[in-house]
Each structure stands twice: as structure tokens, then as C-alpha cells.
Homo-oligomer: A and B are copies of this chain.
Amino acid sequence: MYAGIETGGTKTVCAVGSEGRVFARVQFPTGTDPESLADQCAEFFADHPVTALGLGTFGPCDPDPDSPTYGHILQTPKPGWTGADLLGLLSARIAVPMAMTTDVNAAALGELRYGAGRGLHSLVYITIGTGIGGGAIIRGRLLQAGQHPEMGHMLLPQSTGPGVCPYHRNCWEGLASGPGMQARSGVPAQDIADDDPAWILEAQIVATALHNITCILGPQRIIIGGGLGSRKALHEHLPALLDESLAGYLPSPSLRVPELGGDAGVVGALTLAQDHRPG
């Protein structure tokens, strides 16, 4: 049995399981006190003996095992969390080998092994909701170079803005996240009907970003989830728009919604633990 933890911006999920199955789970608010969150996690796992633990966390975080701040949360607007040594707090309470990555990398791993990416070696997982994030598995390995990907902040050609990113204004997240879509439409993204042309424009922006991901990473498949990212109104336009954008120069990767739905992250965290088991 393995332990998986997914810490999100608002909620944290702890799960016990193996081989893609979750046998027990608990969920609580992530809150503003990392010590108290670690206590709650430890309490759950005290009742569920495990041999290794995987963590997929919100960012920015440091997923570099060679870094002195491995497993820490970096500068974040989230109160109480800047500089928190999340992995250290867990290690002090739960005495098993641990591995960590970003929440979206964990979701990519979960989908690759047990979801919409089974049988593949290279995929990208994108979530589109209040923000846009991306994780990737390349040849079976998590994409974690100098720093973790921040795919949502790439810059794109069309300027249908003004986008809403406080750093880059018209980056992908600035234009195509929920708040970006709302800024264009005047209504919350979740209230936009499936037949509204706003989805065509949204799909055009997303297709351009997928074009760039294809040029830089060349994945076999791109899985697009999240509140907006899972919408049928988006997916029905995407494949043709991506083909059109790549213009035959490169084959398009296949596009899918997550098979594991909201469980992709925690199943990925369990998978990370499983891969990291001692011996």
C-alpha cells in the first residue's frame, strides 16, 4: 500500500492505494498553516500503514531532489505558505521514503499509467480553470529540468486581450483561463453555453498554445482537463484547429480529456510513491 497526497490551492486529498486504485481517502482544506496540514495528513496515514509516499503539490515549488530547498513551496501569494518546507514537515511525521513533484506533473503521471495515456511514453497534461498549468512525462520520466514547467505563462500570437495575467497580461493563462475568458465575455466562463462562439475563440487560443507545446516537446498525446479544459465545447473545435495551425509541418498529437477526472493528481501521487518504493 502506498500513500498519495495532492495539495491544491484550496483542498488537500490524502489517499491510500496501489496500481491506480484508491482504497481509502480523506480531504481537508489546505488552509494557511503548513504544520497543521502536515499533522492532519500524518493522522490519516497513522491508521493506514504505507511503504512510501508521493506528493503532488501546488506551486511554485522546488521539485529538484538535488536542491537544498527540495520539496519547499516558493514565493506564493497564498498566506502562510511562502518558503514552507512541505516535504520536510511530512517527513518529520511519516517515516517512509518520499518523492514529490508538481500537481500537474503528478496528474500527467497518473493519466499516463492508469488513464488516458496508457501504453504511451510521452504526454503532456494541461489543466485550464482559474489558472492554466501543464505537466509532462517524456519517455516515462517526469519533466523536471532546472525549474518545473509554467506552461500557462507562454506568450501567444493573437491579441484578443487585454488578458488578465498580472505578470504577462496576454500570456496563455492571461487570455484563456476562466478569468481571461470572463474578461472577454463579461460572464463567468462556466455560464457560457456550449454553442456560444466564445468557445471557438477560446479553442483558437488553446490550439495555438498546443502548437507551441508540440514544437517544443513533441508529445504523443495532450490531455486537457480542468473546469474549462474538460468542456466538450472546447474539445470539439481543438483537433481541427491544431491541425490547421501546424499546417502539416508536424503531425498533431492526439487530444483527450482526463480519464481519471479529478483523481488524476492523487492517483499520480500514489504512482510516484509506487515508483519510489525502496528496494
* Complex interface: stretch among A35-43, A207-215, A224-232: A207-215
Indicate with 1 or 0, residue by residue over A245-263, a CB within 8 angstroms of chain B CB atoms.
1111111010000000000
Q: Would you call A23 an interface residue if the criterion is a C-beta within 8 Å of the partner chain's C-beta atoms?
A: no
Is the CB–CB distance between A154 and B212 below 8 Å? yes
Q: Would you call A119 an interface residue if the criterion is a C-beta within 8 Å of the partner chain's C-beta atoms?
A: no
Q: Which chain B residues border A177 with CB–CB below 8 Å? A: none
Is the CB–CB distance between B144 and A139 below 8 Å? yes
Known: A155-B208, A159-B157, A208-B155. A250 touches B139 (CB 8 A): no
Task: Give the residue among A121, A134, A146, A149 with the most B Cβ atoms within 10 A.
Answer: A146
Q: Which chain B residues border A151 with CB–CB below 8 Å? A: 215-216
Dominant secondary structure at the A interface = loop
CA distance A146 to B212 in the complex (A): 15
Is the CB–CB distance between A170 and B157 below 8 Å? yes
Q: Which chain B residues border A138 with CB–CB below 8 Å? A: 138, 143-145
Is the CB–CB distance between B139 and A145 below 8 Å? yes
A127-155 residues at the B interface, CB under 8 angstroms: 134, 138-139, 141, 143-155
Nearest CB in chain B: distance from A244 CB, A: 11
Nearest CB in chain B: distance from A76 CB, A: 12
Is the CB–CB distance between A215 and B159 below 8 Å? no
Indicate with 1 or 0, residue by residue over A190-224, a CB within 8 angstroms of chain B CB atoms.
00000000000000000010011101111110000
Is the CB–CB distance between B211 and A154 below 8 Å? yes
Is the CB–CB distance between B212 and A250 below 8 Å? no
CA distance A254 to B4 in the complex (A): 35
Is the CB–CB distance between B213 and A247 below 8 Å? no
Is the CB–CB distance between A147 and B251 below 8 Å? yes
CA distance A113 to B219 in the complex (A): 26
Q: Would you call A168 an interface residue if the criterion is a C-beta within 8 Å of the partner chain's C-beta atoms?
A: yes
Q: Would you call A187 an interface residue if the criterion is a C-beta within 8 Å of the partner chain's C-beta atoms?
A: no
* Leading 4 A-B pairs by shortest Cβ distance: A122-B145, A146-B220, A147-B218, A167-B249
- Please name 13 pairs of A and B residues whose Cβ atoms are closer than 8 Å in the assembled complex, sorted by A: A141-B141, A145-B217, A145-B219, A149-B218, A152-B215, A154-B216, A155-B208, A155-B245, A157-B157, A157-B170, A168-B245, A212-B216, A216-B217
Contacts A138-B138, A217-B217 supplied; 11 other A-B pairs, CB < 8 Å:
A121-B145, A134-B216, A141-B141, A145-B217, A145-B219, A147-B250, A149-B215, A150-B218, A152-B215, A155-B211, A155-B245
Interface residues in chain A, defined as those with a beta carbon under 8 Å from any beta carbon in chain B:
121-122, 134, 138-139, 141, 143-157, 159, 167-168, 170, 208, 211-213, 215-220, 245-251, 253
